[in-house]
Amino acid sequence: MEIVKTGGVREEFSPSKLCLSMRKAGAPRDVADTICRTVGTKVNPNDSTNSIFRKSLKYLMKEAPDVAARYSLRRGLEALGPAGFIFEQYFEVVLQAYGFTTKRDVTLKGKCVSHEIDVIAAEGSKRFLVEAKYHNEPGIKTHVDVIMYADARLIDIVKNEPENNQKKFEYAMWVVTNTKFTDAAIQYAKCRGIRLTGWNYPRGASLEDIIADKKLYPVTVLPSLPKLLLPELAKKNIILAQDLLTYEARDLVRMFGVEKDIAEKLIREVAGMVGN
Q: What is the pLDDT of residue 1?
A: 77
Question: Binning pLDDT at 50, 70 and 90, where does residue 234 land?
Answer: confident
On the question of pLDDT at 232 being above 70, the answer is yes
Percent of all residues in the chain with a pLDDT value above 70, rounded to a whole number: 98
Measure CA 256 to chain center.
24
Q: What is the 3-state secondary structure (H, E, C) of 162-210?
A: CHHHHHHCEEEEEEEECCCECHHHHHHHHHHCCEEEECCECCCCCHHHH
Rounded to an integer, the average pLDDT of 76-95 is 87
**pLDDT greater than 80 at residue 114:** yes
CATH number for the segment(s) 217-274: 1.10.150.20
276 has pLDDT over 70: no
Going by DSSP bridges, is the β-strand pair 170-177/195-197 parallel, antiparallel, or unpaired? parallel
State the burial class of residue 269 (Cβ atoms within 10 Å of its Cβ: 0-12, 13-18, 19+). buried
Could you report the per-residue pLDDT of 194-215, keeping only the tens digit for each? 999 999 999 999 999 999 999 9
Q: What is the dihedral of CA 31, 36, 37, 39, to 10 degrees?
A: 120
Question: For residue 45, what pLDDT is reported?
Answer: 87
3-state helix, strand, coil in the chain (%, to 5): 50, 20, 30
d(CA 248, CA 250): 5
Question: Do 87-213 and 217-274 fold alike per CATH?
Answer: no
CA distance 118 to 104: 6
Residue type, 264: E
**Beta-bridge mates of residue 172:** 128
Taking the C-alpha atoms of residue 38 and residue 52, their distance in angstroms, rounded to an integer, is 11
DSSP for 108-173 reads: EE-SSSEEEEEEEEEETTEEEEEEEE--SSTTPPBPHHHHHHHHHHHHHHHHHS-HHHHHH-EEEE
The one-letter amino acid at 156: D
Q: What are the extents of the domains in the chain? A: 2-71, 87-213, 217-274
Residue 83 confidence (pLDDT)? 59
**Residue 120, pLDDT above cutoff 80:** yes
Please give the CATH number for the structural domain made up of 87-213.
3.40.1350.10
Phi, psi of 102 (to 5 degrees): -130, 155
- Sign of torsion, CA 28 33 38 43? positive
- Helix 260-274 / helix 249-256 crossing angle, nearest 10 deg: 130
Contacts of 158 (CB under 8 A, 6+ apart): 166, 171
The predicted model gives 226-253 an average pLDDT of: 92
How far is Cα 79 from Cα 225, in angstroms, rounded to an integer?
A: 11
- Let me know if 32 is exposed, middle or buried by CB neighbors in 10 A (0-12, 13-18, 19+): buried
pLDDT at 4: 82
pTM: 0.90
Signed CA dihedral, 21, 24, 25, 30: sign only: positive
